[in-house]
Structure 1
Amino acid sequence: MAAEKSLPPGDREMSLSEHLRELRNRLIIVIAVTLLLMLAIFPFAAGLVDAVLAHAVPSYVKISTYAPMEMFKARVTMCFIGAIAIGFPLLVYEAFRFAAPGLYPHEKRFLYLVFPFSLLLFIAGGLIAYFVTLPLFFAIVLGQGADVATPALSVGETFSIVTNFVAGLGLVFQVPLIIVLAIKMGLVKRETLTRGRLAVYGLLFGVAMFFSPDPTLFSQLIVLAVLAVLFELSMLLTRFI
């Protein structure tokens, strides 16, 4: 009886096999929809890859393929990214429906509050990477000596750099949310972070170095400046929540 009373409202005891069966069924739905979306996007993938590279890479740079499957892999990657972006609501729905029976009402409210902020921060980081950091990175790195020799890049490696920058900076933008959660959960005190601002900035710069590899340090400084602003905003936010 005590075990039943400790269960969240609407939850019931399920065996491990029942949990695995439900997880399998939901994964099948997500994977099937993702594959269908990838097939639908594939005819347009080459144009999308070209548009992405045309925006990120200066016009004087020659984009080439150096392996038989290179362009195909880039198209498949673009299809997967597009399928995840379009099917993301379904992915979130299936994940929530799987976890919801085991969550208490206050835990559900917590997810309702945190998830939209996390998603917005990820999108903001990706947009800054795509529209600011990447063009600046390629312009500075490839601009050195461009008047002597024409730069030539691999489609596969260049597209991989673009996706890593966008995804990496999106993850970096989760740092302020992590700080707020750590303070609210009592893992660290706000006063400790306030007194140790220099150490925090050093840590943020290390994060920027890891997710934005750039020998010129320009992209890291951009990321650091954005993270510093987000850190200060998160510190301000924790005063009122």
Structure 2
Amino acid sequence: MSEAGQDTFMAHLVELRDRLLRAVVAVVVVFVCLMPWAGQIYDLLALPMMHALPDGTRMIATGVVTPFFVPVKVTLMVAFVAALPVVLYQAWAFVAPGLYAHEKRLALPLVAGSTVLFLLGMAFCYFFVFNMVFKFIGEFAPKSITPAPDIEQYLSFVMTMFLAFGITFEVPVIVILLTKFGIVERSKLKEARPYVVVGAFVIAAVVTPPDMISQFMLAVPMWMLFELGLILAKYVSQDSAADDEVSSTDVTPTP
């Protein structure tokens, strides 16, 4: 590698370090600001479960330091979500100089759209899925059992579900990227619709609890979002074709 190439590589590493540091600082600042309300934040997260438990029943903590660390983990998760615009901006600022103009026009909406979709997936899980799943489990449990979930296991379950639904809501972005970069043709994806439907239910059966409600509520949105991705991919492909046509007409012929 030449000396100029090494200097350029080191400059990129320094910029990457600075961008990562700024993103981490943003998350830490929000985390520190939220820490005084860590208990209330966990109570808000536990609200769907508390509504499903019998009157007078509370969640339990089996570890000595669990009542402290679990709210801290939840607060850190909320801080990351709150600081996500800053984190994504730092990522965007790092890669933007190396993108072409048409790639910048597509990349920024995709980054913003993927963020909004992920948050919508978490919101859908919290407001709709949790209430139905916990109510179903509470009604199905034998009357001789008093449910008392452990807060650490509850946090693990919530994080898994948030991640599953957040990624599921990214399906339109994945479909657009596959068609935009020519990895898979849109017509092929339409032909694969039956396999996508079956695959959605298989994935839902793997990542959700063993009840039909949560599996159905993950598989159906995944299928609907796939259809939305196909619709959006059609317009993205048309815009790309128009850009290519404009670029070809702008080329000055050689005399």
Q: What residue is the counterpart of 2:9 in the other structure?
A: 16
Residue 232 of structure 2: which of 219, 228, 237 is its match?
237
Larger deviation, residues 137-146 vs 74-83: 137-146
5 Å matches for 1:68-87? 68-87=64-83
In the TM superposition, residue 163 of structure 1 has moved relative to its aligned partner by: 2.2
Task: Choose the corresponding residue for 1:59, options 44, 53, 64.
Answer: 53
What's 2:222 paired with? 227
The yes-or-no answer on 1:208 pairing with 2:204 is yes
1-structure distance, mates of 2:187, 2:93: 38
The CA distance in 2 between the partners of 1:117 and 1:135, in whole Å, is: 26
Secondary structure of the 1:30 match is helix
Equivalent residue for 2:150, pick from 132, 147, 154 = 154
The one-character-per-residue Cα deviations of 1:151-170 (angstroms, maximum 9, x if unpaired) are 01101110221122122201
Q: How far is 1:13 from its partner?
A: 9.1
Structure with the bigger RCO (C-alpha within 8 Å, sep 6+) is 1
Question: Would you say the 8 A contact 2:122–2:166 is kept in 1?
Answer: yes
Instruction: Provide Cα deviations, 1:131-168, integer angstroms capped at 9, x if missing partner.
Output: 11112222222332352221011011102211221222
Query: Please, which of 12, 26, 32 is the counterpart of residue 33 of structure 1?
Result: 26
Assess, with a 3 A threshold, how the Cα gap between structure 1 residues 56 and 128 changes in structure 2: closer, same or farther. Answer: farther
Corresponding residue of 1:114: 110
Aligned-residue CA RMSD in angstroms?
2.1
**What's 1:217 paired with?**
212
SS at match of 1:148: coil
CA distance, structure 1, for counterparts of residue 186 and residue 10 of structure 2: 44
**Percentage of pairs with the same residue:** 27
1:89 aligns with 2:85: yes
TM-score between the two structures when normalised by the length of structure 1:
0.86
- Partner residue, 1:4: none
Aligned pair count reads 229
SS in 2 for 1:214: coil
Please say if 1:138 is aligned against 2:134: yes
Q: Indicate conservation of the 8 Å contact 1:56/1:138, yes or no.
A: yes
More moved, 139-148 vs 94-103: 139-148
Alpha-carbon deviation of 1:63? 0.1
Normalised by the length of structure 2, the TM-score is 0.82
Higher helix share: 2
Cα deviation, 1:206-227, whole Å, max 9, x if unaligned, reads: 332333x221121111111112
Match of 2:39 in 1: 46
Question: In structure 2, how many angstroms separate the alpha carbons of the residues matched to 1:29 and 1:233?
Answer: 35
Q: Residues of 1 paired with 2:191 and 2:181: CA distance?
A: 19
CA distance in 2, matches of 1:78, 1:14: 41
